[in-house]
Structure 1
Amino acid sequence: MAGGDKSTKTLREVWRRAENSLCADCGKPDPDWASSTLGVFICLSCSGIHRNIPSISKVKSLKMDHWDDAQVQFLAKHGNAVTKSMYEAHIPIYYYQPTYNDCQVLREQWIRAKYERKEFTELGKQLLYTDGVKEGILWKRGRDSGQFQPRKFLLSEREGCLKYFTKQDAKEPKINVKIDVINATFQPEKIGNPNGLQITYLKDNKTRNIFVYHKSGKEVVDWFNAIRSVQFHYLKVAFPIASDNEIKSRLTRNFLKEGYMEKTGPKQREAFKKRWFTLDHRRLMYFKDPLDAFAKGEVFVGSRENGYSVQKGLPSGTQGNFSWPYGITIVTPDREYLFTCETEADQLDWITAFTGIINQAMTPQEYAIEAYFKFKS
């Protein structure tokens, strides 16, 4: 806290301003740290990142540390709104601004981009992820070997695609994927690397996973935002009357939920088998291993008005053997899908995720995906 009574009172008043009620960097409520050199109020987690760039930011606890009068006056003149107006003045619409739920590498590079590299202070500043083309090496997990090997990747706005090559001098790419069917999401725990990125794309309406990382946190986050940039400009051309915010909502997305459940087959008499599940909007995919390139199967989760629902528990008389006690039943127009969870907390989390999707009306594109799933089955 501040030294004198007057400074202490001023510090409390500044701290209580509505603009300072959320962390300036990740939006976490009730920040109780601040930067005495930048004038922002931040959470404990972001303060640790600030501490790693001492040439830019000096952080102190608002509860435990001493604040002298000059530092309190500096905070009073700045605060989150004033500082953001300077350091976040020109953020590209497609740039991903992480929250406190996001992983360390995203939050650290966001903080470094703002205050250390000052990427958003000037209008039209040329950035590495805004060129419309990006080429470089990413370490990619082999589909069969499971080993990470360096591979050349090429992202092109002009061609509207992402390619990767098995060799540096290869003329033909191993894959050439249209940018509008790509998703990218950070998965450090699943991949086992703090800079791990999962790239997924649709091939023949089936999801394919690629797992990559780069030793540099900045480089992998630049790749992530370059993908979003190319997607944004591609969709601007494809949907000329859509607003920027509508297009932004169609860029990369985090999965709604992932984790292990057990499942049984369509006859509901087979033994339940443990699988890794990923809920990517209306696609529920299941894998034998979380790092498999292809799903063993996919389930379409439609809307309530089209006959889909989620129920707690399993139908009475379920015959398949299962070891986990917390059941979930997904009802579709064609059949019921039965799952079990290890804990009640997992069961409730999955039910919440499924309910959120089922309560949303389907788009015309989603009706087309549903028709494909029905045709395939």
Structure 2
Amino acid sequence: MAGGEDRNVKALKDVWKRPENALCADCGKPDPDWASYTLGVFICLSCSGIHRNIPSISKVKSLRMDHWEVAQVQFLAQHGNGLGKATYEAHIPIYCYQPTYADCQVLREQWIRSKYERKDFTEPGRYVLYSDGLKEGILWKRGRDNGQFLPRKFILSEKDGCLKYFIKQDAKEPKINIKIDVINATFQPAKVGNPNGLQITYLKDNKTRNIFVYHENGKEIVDWFNAIRSVQFHYLKVAFPMASDNEIKSRLTRNFLKEGYMEKTGPKQKEAFKKRWFTLDHRRLMYFKDPLDAFAKGEVFVGSGENGYSVKPGLPAGMQGSFSWPHGLTIVTPDRDYLFTCETEREQQDWIAAFRRVIELPMTPQEYAIEAYFKVRS
């Protein structure tokens, strides 16, 4: 009996060690140590919790702690993450966002439900976000002045290439009409204070504007997110016909590189440092008095190293400004230096690493145009 059990444990370890099973089947996290014995896929602890919420589809066990029956191990051996992806991810639209372990709960849960529960990607054309090129519905939007979340009608039009929202459901004219090519959308549950919170950012007169929304239904808010990506993808396919699908995909919605509080001083570098919320959105460093402000109080363009931009730890020698946080950093640009302080050394290092990732990248023609605008504006 013991010998048979040992062979079963060894068989389980052999399947587990296959290269195809080295990453979580759902979020890509390394070294998954759970598996679904009804789907035959290897998953991480976090994704296993989501699988437990759909017991009619997936039943999970720990690969380290639970006892595995011979038939269950054989089932895993016949399946695995390679076959799982070939089955459940066979026809993913290129615009559809595939979350990683760094993404929020609602994105990962709806991805897993989309794959295994709804089987959205097993057949071509099955994943339908909207019909007739329109998606219309109610999202709860945060008021710019009072901070209250109120229901607002939103319409996304592929034909018009825009996202509109209306103060009243029967209103004929939208409050705002946003062209799809200037939109970014990123999930912000902590900032919005709702697990399904979404931040929609767009440019108006080349200045950044934020809208914060949520929907109580997780599938609905993720559908809106992917619908925005879909309209963007089709718009960019027309605008840039020579670009590959993967090039266009890389230009769809993006997560911010870094967010958090820093202190800053003014251009003369003699003013007292003030605490501000900073958001690094690729080459735009924006700062806000409050994380939920609709408009940025200011923006800094972060160019490439070959164009004279750099970041370094510390402040200039003899800096006499009034600041309360001890860990300084300086962004050097061709026109002036920007000085910031961070509360902890870890935050300072994280900000420097984020800036360096941007500075190391060559600038695109579009980014040269943005840089020129910043110089004219300043």
Gaps of 5+ in 1: none
- Identity across matched positions, percent: 82
Aligned residue for 2:227, secondary structure, equals helix
CA contact (8 A) 1:328 1:340 kept: yes
Q: Distance in 2 between matches of 1:38 and 1:3?
A: 25
CA-CA distance at 1:132 after TM superposition? 2.7
- Deviation of 1:130 after TM superposition, in Å, equals 6.9
> Aligned runs of 1:339-354 on 2, under 5 Å?
339-354=340-355
- Post-superposition Cα deviations, 1:8-52, rounded to whole Å, max 9, x if no partner, equal 111110000000010000000000000010000000000000000
Within 5 A, what are the aligned runs for 1:119-130? 119-129=120-130
Give the alignment of 1:352-371 within 5 angstroms.
352-371=353-372
Alpha-carbon separation, structure 2, partners of 1:346 and 1:270: 23
Shift of 1:129: 4.7
TM-score (norm 1): 0.98
Q: Distance in 1 between matches of 2:271 and 2:132?
A: 53
Which residue of the partner structure matches residue 260 of structure 1? Answer: 261
Post-superposition offset of 1:356: 0.9
Residue equivalent to 1:15? 16
CA distance in 1, matches of 2:111, 2:316: 48
Q: How many residues align?
A: 376
Q: In 2, distance between residues paired with 1:238 and 1:367? A: 19
| 1:254 partner letter | N
Alignment-derived partner of residue 198 in structure 1: 199
Counterpart mapping for 1:173-252 below 5 A? 173-252=174-253
Query: Paired residue for 2:48?
Result: 47
TM-score, structure 2 as length reference = 0.98
Alpha-carbon contact 1:133-1:156 (below 8 Å) kept? yes
Quick check: 2:121–2:127 contact (8 Å CA) kept in 1? no
SS of 2:48's equivalent in the other structure is helix
Q: Which secondary structure state, in structure 2, belongs to the residue aligned with residue 27 of structure 1?
A: coil
Helix, strand or coil at the partner of 1:369: helix
Cα gap change, 1:42/1:126 in structure 2, threshold over 3 Å: closer, same or farther?
closer
Give 3-state SS (helix, strand or coil) of 1:4's partner: helix
How far, CA to CA, are the matches of 2:307 and 2:125 in structure 1? 46
Distance 1:129 1:33 in 2: 35
Q: Which residues of 2 match residues 1-377 of structure 1 at below 5 A?
A: 4-129=5-130, 132-377=133-378
Structure 2 Cα separation of the partners of residues 3 and 42 of structure 1: 26
The residue type paired with residue 175 of structure 1 is I
Kindly tell me: are residues 67 and 314 of structure 1, through their superposed partners in 2, closer, same or farther at Cα, counting changes over 3 Å?
same
In 2, the alpha carbon distance for the partners of 1:77 and 1:192 equals 43
For 2:302 and 2:123, how far apart are their aligned partners in 1?
44
Distance verdict in 2 for CA 1:329–1:124, change over 3 Å: same
Distance in 1 (alpha carbons) for counterparts of 2:178 and 2:74: 54
- Which is worse superposed, 134-143 or 123-132? 123-132
Going from structure 1 to structure 2, the CA distance change for 1:361 and 1:24 (only over 3 Å counts) comes to same
Kindly provide the amino acid, as one letter, of the partner of residue 349 in structure 1. Answer: D
254 and 158 in structure 1: CA distance in 2 versus 1, 3 angstrom threshold: same
AA aligned to 1:315 is P
Change in Cα spacing, 1:23 to 1:374, as seen in structure 2 (3 Å) is: same
Distance in structure 2 (CA, Å) of the matches to 1:3 and 1:160: 63
Seen in structure 2, the aligned counterparts of structure 1 residues 49 and 126 have a Cα distance that, compared at 3 Å, is closer
Q: Partners of 1:108 and 1:133 in 2: how far apart?
A: 25
Q: Structure 2: any 5+ residue segments left out of the alignment? A: none
* Alpha-carbon distance change, 108 to 126 in structure 1, aligned in 2, over 3 angstroms: closer
